[in-house]
Structure 1
Amino acid sequence: MKYLPAEDITFQSKLKESELIQRLENSIEPVKAFRFGLFNRKDTKPYQGKIVEHSFNISRIINYRNSFLPQISGSIENTFTGSLIRVKMRLHVVVIIFLCIWGAIMGGVCILFLSQAFGSTDFDPMMLIPLGMLVVFYVVIMLAFKYESKQSIADLQSLFEAEIIN
């Protein structure tokens, strides 16, 4: 998953499941439709989402727009020494669908342009623009997702008083 906008992390904490659930509840607000401009208060909690039994689905509350903000899902399991927290960070489904459609279109255009560029004797550097767009597209997605996921990992590690075991 190193080359995709996704993270699978397992935390190990000495705290029990009930304590971790309580800490999560103290850090999570219900999801709101509008969280920008006049609708965003300064006294918000760091995350929005919900907890169901020993599982949670959350995302960070940010004061700017980032379509590549990780959607965090996780589960908490009791162990003899504390708890294991398994966390998955993924892009929002709508964003994934858009990226797949845009990537397929640009990939097709790129293949078309490259086949024409290498099929003729005159090489035009302008034919490489779609390939450059695909590379920039990938780099922007990865940088935006990894920036947000690193902050969420640090937040969760602190919240759970945990260490990452994989």
Structure 2
Amino acid sequence: MKIIPSDTIEIVTSLTIKEVKDILDNNIQPKVKFDFSFSNKHKVFEGFLKQDSFEIQRIIRGRNSFIPQIKGKIKSNNNGSTLMVELKMNQFVIVFVIIWLGITGVSFFVSLFAVFNQGLNPIAAIGPAVMIAFAFGLMNYGYNSEKKKAIEALEKILKGKMHSAF
């Protein structure tokens, strides 16, 4: 199990590189910092496509800080194209989670030390342990639920299949 979730996958499609670029271009809108409109979006992803690479994330309603940031490269193969895709959380969120886990981890070990060496009530260690478990649960649930939707959306628009996961 990874501490910080991330994945690397390949999506294989029978489409040519040009067709893949055209489809991605038609399904990616530029990133918008603040969008208060409630209109239905016609694009699936936001980000950018340049040459044979792209950096995107799925457009969702609401906010999920753990949504995968998708970086990919498009390569030609014998039967079409292969997309080498890397899914990671936003760097700012990773730093925040590391700081959160660091502070709660230190609190947990200090409370354990106090329990064993100073006779503190063992219930004192439950608070930091619950906060650590909550951080892992929230991070993994938020990331994995959106990862699945993003991969399915890429497979659907590109008429491809996830070939392998590393």
Q: Same fold (TM over 0.5)?
A: yes
Equivalent residue number for residue 76 of structure 2:
78
* Cα separation, 2, equivalents of 1:111 and 1:48: 42
Structure 1 residue 5 displacement after superposition? 1.6
Unmatched tracts of structure 2, length 5 or more: none
Kindly indicate whether residue 29 of structure 2 is the aligned counterpart of residue 32 of structure 1: no
Equivalent residue number for residue 122 of structure 2:
124
Percent of aligned pairs with the same residue? 28
* Cα separation, 2, equivalents of 1:44 and 1:159: 13
State which of 45, 48, 58 in structure 2 corresponds to 1:47.
45
Superposition CA RMSD, Å: 1.6
SS at structure 2 position matched to 1:165: strand
SS at structure 2 position matched to 1:39: coil
* Cα separation, 1, equivalents of 2:126 and 2:69: 34
Equivalent residue number for residue 14 of structure 1:
14
Equivalent residue number for residue 4 of structure 2:
4
State which of 103, 107, 110 in structure 1 corresponds to 2:108.
110
Structure 2 vs 1, CA of residues 160 and 45 (structure 1 numbering), >3 Å: closer, same or farther? Answer: same
* Cα separation, 2, equivalents of 1:47 and 1:40: 16
Q: State TM-score, norm by structure 2.
A: 0.92
Structure 1 residue 162 displacement after superposition? 1.1
Unmatched tracts of structure 1, length 5 or more: none
Equivalent residue number for residue 98 of structure 1:
96
Point out 4+ residue stretches in structure 1 off by more than 4 angstroms.
none
* Cα separation, 1, equivalents of 2:81 and 2:44: 22
Q: State TM-score, norm by structure 1.
A: 0.92
